[in-house]
Amino acid sequence: MKKSLILPIFLITLFFQVYGQKNVSEQGRDHYVCLPCGSDCDHAIVDNPGTCPHCGMRLVLKKSIVFKNITPVELCKIVTTHANVILLDVRTPEEFAGQADENFGRLKNAINIPVQELESRLTELKSFKNKEIIVYCSHSHRSPRASYILTENGFTNVKNMTGGMSIWSDTVVQSPAGKSLLVN
């Protein structure tokens, strides 16, 4: 072998050994995130289980967060093209009925199960385990947690509407689909 090739081959081999060892050690480590609460701390990654220092929620394995986030615009597209979508409103009954201080309206044909009651009322949703479920609330602080609860209990196609109903009027209420889905 030529002497001029020895150094580049050595450097390339060394690079792959170091890079490969780093990937192996990263793959073997579990990473934890805040149980989804809709705050910025949902995106902080830590190496050990425990409690989120920001919101106090339990830290869960990052790989256990499998629901998808969608925008109100995406929700409108999905609902207008998929007939069997289940809409799950996880606000209080007062918010759902428009009787709370802030009235953002609700979506037509939505099921109302407050996030605080969701785990004890999962049997009401069992026939929807393999259906597309879109979860929403007022500001997207409760719906990520509800989405997590659903996926942890075997629901296979869960989506969380980011921003909640508080941004509905700013994003889609003027569109035909947005108007047709809203109940004031």
* Structural domains in the chain plus CATH codes: 31-65 (no CATH), 66-183 (3.40.250.10)
CA atoms of 85 and 111, how far apart (whole Å): 11
Q: What is the pLDDT of residue 168?
A: 86
Residue ranges of the chain whose pLDDT lies below 70: 1-28, 179, 184
pTM for this prediction: 0.79
Q: What is the pLDDT of residue 137?
A: 96
Give tens-digit pLDDT for 86-100. Answer: 999 999 999 999 998
Give tens-digit pLDDT for 136-170. Answer: 999 999 999 999 999 999 999 999 999 999 998 78
